[in-house]
Amino acid sequence: MSSETDETGAGKPPMRDALVAAAFRLFLERGYEQTTVDDIVALAGVGRRSFFRYFPSKEDVVFPDHERCLADMTAFLAGGSDDEPVRRVCDAARLVLRMYAENPTFSVQRYRLTRQVPGLRAYELSVVWRYERALAEYLRRRFAARREGTLQADVIAAAVVAAHNNALRSWLRSDGRGEAGTAVDHALAYVQSAFGGVPVPPVAEQPEDVVVVVARRGTPLWRVVQEIEATLGRG
């Protein structure tokens, strides 16, 4: 059996994992820009067709788990219509943290790589935007009946992503030391305390004052105005 089809041989990692491992080994040794897809498949012992079966581009091999995580997040949100919405999106963000925490060494290497390569940084931002859109779309559905529900949904989704990423990146900058979940929980608790899942009530419009003044015909206008001011002052 050829190496391209042998993905489950004893002692061998799945082909997808082998491609990721080969790519990052080369990125660390040669640099991202100097590594080609041909280099990656040669080290992994497979053909180009196998690479593109799993990854549409070289950028995608740097973020191999995000599509799965995004699908998991979308399914998680879809299954929680009875929960408190703000808490639900915070819990959904923790799925992203779990993905990073599963392999701290790989996550730290990827973080360093994206800091060095502008193209990867832009790609990462597009991935983060997709997470934020998933959270916002869920909240928009939940807040559909609220006044300014769309605005609330977008603001809360952005706050969840910002809080999560602030804590996550602090953990990555520390080389993955310590418990990432503690910092992320603290950051997301801040979001929940700020929004609390309760919409900000709109400012109630004050009813207009209606003043009826009874005056004799011919009463000077200044006297009428004086009566109105006196009445409003007593109110």
Considering Cα of 128, then 86, then 68, then 97, what sign does the dihedral take? positive
28, 112: one domain: no
- pLDDT recorded at residue 10: 43
pLDDT of 41 reads 95
pLDDT beyond 50 at 25: yes
| Domain region containing 35 | 15-57
Residue 209 domain-assigned (yes or no): no
Q: Indicate if 36 and 85 belong to the same structural domain.
A: no
CATH number for the domain spanning 24: value is: 1.10.10.60
Question: Over the stretch 161-172, which tens digit does the pLDDT of each residue have?
Answer: 999 999 999 999
Looking at the structure, tell me whether residues 94 and 176 fall in a common domain.
Answer: yes
pLDDT digits (tens, 9 = 90+) for 113-159: 999 999 999 999 999 999 999 999 999 999 988 889 999 999 999 99
- What is the model's pLDDT at position 210? 58
Flag whether pLDDT at 203 surpasses 50.
no
Q: Of 168 and 218, which is predicted with more confidence?
A: 168
Q: What pLDDT digit, counting tens, does each position of 82-113 carry? A: 678 999 999 999 999 999 999 999 999 999 99
Q: Are residues 82 and 184 both part of a single domain?
A: yes
Domain count for the chain: 2
Higher pLDDT, 207 or 36: 36
For residues 20 and 67, state if they share a domain.
no
Are both 42 and 85 inside the same structural domain? no
If asked whether residues 71 and 187 sit together in one domain, one would say yes
Same-domain pairing of 45 and 110: no
pLDDT value at residue 8: 42
Band of the pLDDT at 229, cuts 50, 70, 90? low
pLDDT band, very low/low/confident/very high, at 77 (cuts 50, 70, 90): very high
In a domain, 167, yes or no: yes
The pTM is what? Answer: 0.74
Within 10 Å of residue 101's Cβ, how many Cβ atoms? Answer: 17
Mean pLDDT, the chain, as a whole number?
83
- 47 falls within a domain: yes
131 shares a domain with 53: no
What does the H/E/C string look like for the chain?
Answer: CCCCCCCCCCCCCCHHHHHHHHHHHHHHHHCCCCCCHHHHHHHHCCCHHHHHHHCCCHHHHHCCCHHHHHHHHHHHHHCCCCCCHHHHHHHHHHHHHHHHHCCHHHHHHHHHHHHHCHHHHHHHHHHHHHHHHHHHHHHHHHCCCCCCHHHHHHHHHHHHHHHHHHHHHHHHHCCCCCCHHHHHHHHHHHHHHHHCCCCCCCCCCCCCCCCCCCCCCCCCHHHHHHHHHHHHHHC
Distances, alpha carbon 115 to alpha carbons 57, 123, 124, 147, 235, in Å = 19, 12, 10, 40, 64
105 & 164 share domain? yes
CATH number for 183: 1.10.357.10
C-alpha distances (whole Å) from 184 to each of 14, 22, 159, 168, 193 are 31, 31, 13, 7, 14
User: What pLDDT is recorded for position 6?
Assistant: 44
Residue 6 lies in a domain: no
